[in-house]
């Protein structure tokens, strides 16, 4: 029995759709496979690990985040201590306003205490200039809030006489929402405390 020409056309049309469907499905499978492989590669890079000096395995991404946090924390403490302790009769008001944005009520309480003790009045009365020379901070980033200790060396210029002091302060840092320009690092100083203040003699300054 002979197959009609119409049946042959239908068969060819069916075969063409089958082939086209196979090609489309194969293309989609290839695209999905490439996408999955690229995503896996990206995840592997983001989840890379390194071994520290103690033999502990640490995610590389966590190390980068910690390094960035350390840089911002040090910059935050540097800026705060310069605004809070580098003052004179002309700028102390502006500096205190900026410094208070970087700390909590403990910073405000210390400012009020200094004001009540007459520190800023003496600053204006005798035209004193307090200039920060060096700020060294150590931060423990193991847990939040992050504990810190800062050593600030500053000079007090009393006209013809200049005295040098070393101040030790401590506190904690807590992450907060960034606020430009008042708090660009998104950190807040808590439990701020002045631990000790000592005068540095001239021979110590010379040695350093």
Domain ranges within the chain, ordered by starting residue? 59-200
**Which one of 14-23, 55-64, 174-183, 199-208 scores highest in mean pLDDT?**
174-183
Bond into 181 cis (ω within 30): yes
Q: What CA–CA distances, in Å, run from 128 to 80, 123, 163?
A: 20, 5, 11
Q: In the structure encoding, which two tokens stand for residue 78, read together? A: 């540097």
The stretch 62-91 carries a mean pLDDT of 87
Buried b vs exposed e over 105-134: b needs ≥16 C-beta within 10 Å?
A: eebeebbeebeeeeebeebeeeebbbebee
3-class state of residue 169 by DSSP? strand
pLDDT at residue number 21: 81
Output phi, psi for 152, to 5 deg.
Answer: -115, 125
Helices (H), the chain: 5-46, 60-85, 92-100, 105-116, 119-125, 202-207
Q: What is the mean pLDDT of residues 77-86?
A: 97
| CA–CA gap between residue 100 and residue 77 (Å, rounded) | 12
pTM: 0.68
Q: How many angstroms separate the CA atoms of 105 and 119, rounded? A: 19
Residue 144: closest CA among 168, 173, 187: 173
Element (H, E) at 148: strand 146-158
Q: What is the third-level CATH fold of 59-200?
A: Nuclear Transport Factor 2; Chain: A, (3.10.450)
Q: What mean pLDDT is reported for the chain? A: 84
pLDDT in tens, 36-73: 877 776 665 555 555 545 555 445 454 456 678 899 99
């Amino acid at each position: 029995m002979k197959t009609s020409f119409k049946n042959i056309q239908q068969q060819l049309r069916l075969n063409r759709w089958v082939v086209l469907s196979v090609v489309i499905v194969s293309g989609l499978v290839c695209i999905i496979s490439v996408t999955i492989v690229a995503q896996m590669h990206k995840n592997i890079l983001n989840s890379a690990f390194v071994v520290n000096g103690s033999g502990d395995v640490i995610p590389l991404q966590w190390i980068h985040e910690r390094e960035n946090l350390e840089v911002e924390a040090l910059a935050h403490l540097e800026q705060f201590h310069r605004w809070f302790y580098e003052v004179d009769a002309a700028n102390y008001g502006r500096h205190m306003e900026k410094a208070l944005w970087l700390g909590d009520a403990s910073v405000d309480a210390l400012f009020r205490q200094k004001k009540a003790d007459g520190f800023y009045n003496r600053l204006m009365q005798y035209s004193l200039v307090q200039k920060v020379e060096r700020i060294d901070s150590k931060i423990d980033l193991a847990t939040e809030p992050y504990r810190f200790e800062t050593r600030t060396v500053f000079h007090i210029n009393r006209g013809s006489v200049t005295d040098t002091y070393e101040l030790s302060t401590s506190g904690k840092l807590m992450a907060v929402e960034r606020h430009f320009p008042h708090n660009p690092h998104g950190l807040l100083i808590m439990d701020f405390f002045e631990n000790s203040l000592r005068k540095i003699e001239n021979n110590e300054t010379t040695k350093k």
